[in-house]
Chain A
Amino acid sequence: MQAQDFARSLGAVWAGASDAAPPEPLDAALIFAPVGALVPAALRAVRPGGVVVCGGIHMSAIPEFPYELLWQERTLRSVANLTRADAEEFLALAPRVPVRTETHRFPLGQANEALAAFRAGRFSGAAVLVPAEAA
């Protein structure tokens, strides 16, 4: 619920649980969570001709699903890494949108604590490590 509130606070017109149907069929669904079961759920949520993009580097196994979820020219694809052109485009675009980030500082020496807090979802946004020399 905290993540859904966070999404709404950033301007999302709808936020819901991953097993909840969106209020209307989606043009596209972008998956960042490393959970393979979200792939058939996302295919179910997109309209005919829609696209599901898996943005993560690792995902648990995708469960079997009926062909009808992919049929009607839905597209399922992944993203691997980035190109330098992506970086140049995005870093020029980000301040114009503007893309805002929410961060939580940790001293570099507390990297294990930062990883654990991130894993447990104890905050919204990103943990950022700051070396002692730069603090």
Chain B
Amino acid sequence: MHLTVMPETMEAMRLHAPRTPLRAERVGIPEPGPGEVLVRVCACAVCRTDLHVVDGELPNPLLPITPGHEIVGRVAAIGAGADRFAEGDRVGIPWLGWTCGVCEYCRSGRENLCPLARFTGYQIDGGYAGFACADARFCFPIPSEYDDVSATPLLCAGLIGWRTLRLAGEG
């Protein structure tokens, strides 16, 4: 159920084949499935990984795909069981979009290595659009110190930078 009036379609920039320009399209707004939230995109940063997706340098992309995995937006609708968030909450959606939750990696806090993992803007439609659906388990509140646009690079450049720095150890 939506508390605000929802448009029926949205703007999306979609990749249909590697090494071709994104196409501007009007597409239907997705419905959040169980465990998912529908997010009205406020801003989405462009990451180098988006270039790798567009250039066909990563295996097995979903095509056509809406790229974009540094998304800041507002929750517009909530799927069954996704009550971690409420409508209107500001959330960030990063690259890691779904993991199985049962493999040895998921059960040991290393879900980044889940062999079934799916990724935003690569195998799940991402943020180069007016709206995006995301698994609520992989959405995060955005610190209030950042406006929407300035927060977007935190979601991959920042996050992967942090993990990279952390794995370098204490030096």
Question: Which residues does A use to contact B, with CB under 8 Å?
Answer: 27-28, 30, 32, 34, 50-51, 53, 55-58, 77, 79-95, 98-101, 103, 105, 108-109, 111-112, 114-115, 118-119, 125-134
Any A CB within 8 A of the CB of B49: yes
Q: Which residues in window 132-165 of B have CB below 8 A to A? A: 137-138, 140-143, 145-146, 148-154, 157-165
What is the CB-to-nearest-CB distance from A134 to chain B, in angstroms, rounded to a whole number?
5
Interchain CB contact under 8 A, A103 and B142: no
Interchain CB contact under 8 A, B171 and A28: yes
Given the complex, which residues of B lie within 8 Å of A57, measured CB to CB? 49, 52, 58
Any A CB within 8 A of the CB of B41: yes
- Known contacts A82-B112, A90-B159; A128/B164 CB under 8 A: no
Interchain CB contact under 8 A, A134 and B42: yes
Chain A, interface SS category: mixed
Q: In the assembly, what is the distance between CA of A130 and CA of B45, in Å? A: 9
Interchain CB contact under 8 A, A131 and B51: no
Interchain CB contact under 8 A, B43 and A115: no
Given the complex, which residues of B lie within 8 Å of A132, measured CB to CB? 11, 130
Picked from B22, B48, B49, B150, the residue with its CB within 8 Å of the CB of A111 is B22
Interchain CB contact under 8 A, B110 and A108: no
Any A CB within 8 A of the CB of B117: yes
Q: In the assembly, what is the distance between CA of A92 and CA of B95, in Å? A: 18
Interchain CB contact under 8 A, A128 and B167: no
Q: In the assembly, what is the distance between CA of A107 and CA of B88, in Å? A: 23
Given the complex, which residues of A lie within 8 Å of B128, measured CB to CB? 108, 111, 129
- Known contacts A56-B48, A84-B111, A115-B51; A134/B154 CB under 8 A: no
What is the CB-to-nearest-CB distance from A102 to chain B, in angstroms, rounded to a whole number?
8
- Known contacts A83-B96, A91-B140, A134-B40; A111/B159 CB under 8 A: no
- Known contacts A57-B52, A129-B128; A81/B43 CB under 8 A: no
- Known contacts A27-B171, A115-B54, A132-B11; A85/B160 CB under 8 A: no
Chain B 3-17 per-residue mask, 1 if CB under 8 angstroms from chain A, else 0: 000010011010000
Picked from A86, A95, A115, the residue with its CB within 8 Å of the CB of B143 is A95
Return the 10 tightest CB-CB contacts between A and B, nearest first. A27-B171, A55-B164, A81-B112, A28-B168, A95-B145, A111-B13, A90-B162, A127-B46, A126-B153, A95-B143
Given the complex, which residues of A lie within 8 Å of B24, measured CB to CB? 109
Chain B 93-115 per-residue mask, 1 if CB under 8 angstroms from chain A, else 0: 01110000000000001111100
